[in-house]
Structure 1
Amino acid sequence: MLSSSDSLTEIQRRIDEVKRFLSITLSIANAHTVEFYTHDVWKRFVAVPPEEVLLAVSFGSDQQGEPELKGKEQSRTTFGFCSDTNRLVDTHELLQAAKAHSLPGLGVCWSRDELLQALRESRSEPGAPPAEKGTKLEPDEFMNSKKSHEVQSMSEVVACLAQRCGVKQVIDVGSGKGYLSSFLSLQYGLRVYGIDSSSTNTHGAQERNRKLKKFSRSYQKHTKALRAQGQATHSPQEEFAEIKPGLTGENDILFGAGGGIVSQEEEVLNVLSEPDPETEELFLSALSMDVIQTTSPRIPPSELSAEERERRKRENLERKALNRTDSASTMFSPLTSYVTAETELRELINELEDAVMVGLHTCGDLAPSTLRMFVAKPELAAVCSVGCCYHLLSEEFDPAGQECSCTVCGFPLSQYLRDRSWFCGRNARMSACLALERVSLGQGIQMESLFYRAVLHVILRDHYSSYKSEKRVGNVYSKAKSFVDYVRRALRRLELDELKLSDSDIQDYLDAYRPRMGEMHAFNMLKVILAPCIEGLILLDRLCYLKEQENLSFSALVQLFDPLLSPRCYAVVGLKSYGNRITS
């Protein structure tokens, strides 16, 4: 039986724990790196040397047990911060507290395997659709590619949700280039509607899906013919090498061993009846290697040769004939639309039936809008949403009086946090996007560019009082050959008089602040440590929102991806309880 392990009361208690921790530490996450030296950020927030912080962070994963007590001082600290000065005095205590207040430390997340097992077990209950036949895929088979890993991991979960709910349609919100949508339609035979606000994305996704279909038909026909002839099939790599030229070349219509293209109906039947890990690996290779190309820029018909016009006319007639022959020929339909919680799906999709709503790395407010839509629309039976870009979230409550200008804000989502008027701040939400696991392995922050920008801010304060802070410097670091060159490029970008300073004047600033670069490095590592806790609060808020609803039988946070490959690795999953789809 599929049941939620944590009650609404338990999730609210976890939210309170994280809120208490962040009420002490959030000021560090909200400190702006640009103002690091002009506002003397290190001395304001930290009372220990930067070397101590860096050493503690470097060996933080090796620390065992409780942090070492420091006599009387220990009783006057909260999460490592002095109760009198609100400055950090115990880095080890902060590290332990941050770990305890992250999602793994709170113990509220399901693993992907736990969710899949629960979904498969619940399918055998009365009223559940029959389980899909096929070989179970190994989750780490495609970890050499971020996108392949995400598509493979999430598509299996979505397919299980669809089967659990007895639905055949999927709505992919913020579908982008259509990788997930194409794979769901081709490998699992689901009818997928991919909605994206960018017409460029939807057009490219449509073309990519068209070529993937040709690849699917060709591969299925080829292997089927070889098996019928009693011949051994090639390895997936050899098969893909034979088919790849058709995908990347000019004439990308692919032919099977018999010289013809199998029908869309045969393709769908083959995919549904004979799921093949080799076929899936080829699809994922095609996606991750980006050999599925988008169309070239459109050429006006008047500039085409007579031969090219005739060829395109023939292809269009063939495509229309195929569409008339098989109504299921478009298993994936990219749609261009800006989606909000108020969007009427039936106005976008005429053939809409009960469906699963999904979103793979939906940016900013789109993730909470997806959850609001799931709750409000009776035709949506389940949701699987992985958000990203927390810095683009709109916030309802702002102590500075700059409340959200949107009709409905993205954070907080739950009534529980809204009743408490909780506010994170843009810098803290930006910090939540940092990847602790990657930084821990040395894939760190580009410190020199941040350092350059902070020292530039000192120069602007000292010599350019007319400088408007809202003007952006932009990415001049990547083009600069030295700090002097960086400053001069930045001054030109800001339309300021660069002749006001000599090269030696600029170099003197660099020499003066270079010894303090360690402070900035250590401070940014503190932000990295806090990142999982801020992300955790945002995701707990979304889970709490689902738990507040009365028509849901199941809701959970699920770690879908390996955080080293995909730092935004958590999905919010929910299922409705009406009808005979879900057992409460």
Structure 2
Amino acid sequence: MDDYENHLAKCLLFIDENQSLIDCHLVDFITENLWEKCLTPRLRFQLEQLNETNRNIIDSLHDNINDELNKFIDKTKELNLKNSTSVLRLDEISTVLPNINFEWDDSEESNNQSHNNFMKNKKQYEINVLTKVIGYLSKANSNLVIDVGAGKGYLATSLSQKYGIPVLAIDSSESRYNSAIHRQELMKKKKHQSFPSIKYCIKFIDDKTNYLQLVQSSFKNYNDNDKFIFAGLHTCGLLAHAMIKSFLNSSCLNTLCVIPCCYHLAEESLTGKCYFTKNARMLAQQSVERASMQNKPQSPSLFYRAVLQVLLKSLGMGDVRIGRGAPMSNFSIYAQWSLKKIGVESDKIPSKEQLKQLYDKYIDKQWQINLFQLLRIHAGSVVEAAIVLDRVIYLKNSEKCKKVALVKLFDSLLSPRCYAIIALK
């Protein structure tokens, strides 16, 4: 068993042991008594002690290395991909192509922020990093990049600017295609930059798409012997799966670099070794780094929704979706707004005084739900690890790749979906 498979096996064991915590729905926190149902008595006792001393869960983690709370958090940290020895750091990426030089200077990221090409800072940062990585990979006998889920063409124009690499930018959305063309026209008008080596294409891709044909229809000089880089930044859900399968099936694709996201949109396990509920996949989207760094008080939205669920159940409406946009000034206003939104008749909506009484009845559970969700977010990092490792192992087991690597490209505080799956045939 290699490092990736060993790591996945440990993740799956942890997920199995904490299934109820990971799979639960937070709106049911009060109605289903999740505090007692999903946590061990010892862990509940330790958390209740923290509440009595008004201490933050993160601040308390190393008071007693043998207690159950520490064991839980330490295990999630051990299984978090960022702490895995099998995951390469950005400055270690030269091991992918050991005969080709790659040097990373952290100062490049901040210096490049000022050269904003109609991008927000987060996107500019991601594009700067990925551009250099793909520029490095392009030295391995790949002379064109196919950018899947290209959006507004950020990656395509950056590759063209810095390396002169031709790019076929594919997106399934006509509106995003139009936005890419508009952005390119703005850059030509305001920055006097043109991009003749970029071609845009509207296409819904799957694992049977003929990529050589797509390239040949846009670039007349490419033939059956040409090899391409297959790239995607934050490819949503099943798009990452389609890219991985396409890479293995298409002889014209010899390098893969994909950064997956939106795990909740992909139910399929490529290896068939694991299955995750939608709640688990949604949890994998959370950022444990951001949650741990949070200095301001948590939004009351989770608690408000859990209290509202008590009322909804009493009305026989326990299975409804409220959605976003509710006012958060206090629970009574939140509840009345929500009930109106889902169509409850005005005469059946409780008064503000009645709603306040309901809120006051459960107010002592607010600290519980906040800590409970923080534990779930830590567990979510293990689910993310399992989802990503499933894809890496699928590529390795195909026996069609001479090299498969998992690389942490981005600072996870700036860009939580930070792992690139890189493969070479």
Category of TM-score, reference length = shorter chain: 0.7 to 0.9
Query: 1:495/1:565 Cα in 2 relative to 1: closer, same or farther (>3 Å)?
Result: same
Mapping of 1:64-213 within 5 angstroms?
67-68=65-66, 90-115=68-93, 117-118=94-95, 121-123=98-100, 138-142=108-112, 145-164=121-140, 166-213=141-188
Equivalents in 2 of 1:379, 1:169: separation in Å?
11
- The normalised TM-score by structure 2 is 0.88
Matched, 1:9 2:9: no
Instruction: Pick the aligned partner of 1:521 from 345, 365, 370.
Output: 370
User: Post-superposition shift, 1:520?
Assistant: 0.4
Q: Which amino acid aligns with 2:377?
A: V
Instruction: Pick the aligned partner of 2:14 from 10, 17, 21.
Output: 21
Instruction: Pick the aligned partner of 1:427 from 279, 291, 294.
Output: 279
Deviations 1:183-212 (A, max 9, x none): 112221111111111111111112212332
Q: Which amino acid aligns with 2:111?
A: E
Instruction: Pick the aligned partner of 2:340 from 492, 496, 499.
Output: 492
Query: 1:497/1:536 Cα in 2 relative to 1: closer, same or farther (>3 Å)?
Result: same
Deviations 1:103-145 (A, max 9, x none): 1333210011111x33564138xxxxxx99xx99724435792
Q: Which amino acid aligns with 2:82?
A: P
Instruction: Pick the aligned partner of 2:30 from 21, 24, 37.
Output: 37
SS in 1 for 2:111: helix
User: Post-superposition shift, 1:167?
Assistant: 2.0
Equivalents in 1 of 2:106, 2:137: separation in Å?
16
Could you say which residue in structure 2 is the equivalent of 1:563? 412
Query: 1:45/1:570 Cα in 2 relative to 1: closer, same or farther (>3 Å)?
Result: same
Equivalents in 2 of 1:486, 1:137: separation in Å?
46
Could you say which residue in structure 2 is the equivalent of 1:542? 391
Could you say which residue in structure 1 is the equivalent of 2:270? 413
Equivalents in 1 of 2:37, 2:343: separation in Å?
32
Identity %: 29
Equivalents in 2 of 1:148, 1:137: separation in Å?
14
Unmatched 5+ stretches in structure 1: 1-7, 70-89, 125-130, 219-263, 265-328, 395-410, 577-584
User: Post-superposition shift, 1:444?
Assistant: 7.3
Query: 1:208/1:443 Cα in 2 relative to 1: closer, same or farther (>3 Å)?
Result: farther
User: Post-superposition shift, 1:52?
Assistant: 4.5
Matched, 1:460 2:312: yes
- Once superposed, what is the RMSD of the aligned Cα atoms? 2.6
Matched, 1:344 2:198: no
Matched, 1:483 2:340: no
Could you say which residue in structure 1 is the equivalent of 2:117? none
Q: How many pairs were matched up?
A: 404
Equivalents in 2 of 1:375, 1:43: separation in Å?
47
Asked whether the equivalents of residues 143 and 565 of structure 1 are also in contact (C-alpha less than 8 Å), the reply is no
SS in 2 for 1:451: helix
Mapping of 1:308-387 within 5 angstroms?
330-349=196-215, 350=217, 351=219, 353-387=226-260
- The normalised TM-score by structure 1 is 0.65
Unmatched 5+ stretches in structure 2: 115-120
Could you say which residue in structure 1 is the equivalent of 2:118? none
Equivalents in 2 of 1:369, 1:215: separation in Å?
37
Query: 1:379/1:101 Cα in 2 relative to 1: closer, same or farther (>3 Å)?
Result: same
Equivalents in 2 of 1:527, 1:514: separation in Å?
21
Equivalents in 2 of 1:381, 1:541: separation in Å?
21
Asked whether the equivalents of residues 476 and 489 of structure 1 are also in contact (C-alpha less than 8 Å), the reply is no
Equivalents in 1 of 2:50, 2:253: separation in Å?
48
SS in 2 for 1:387: strand
Equivalents in 2 of 1:122, 1:194: separation in Å?
29
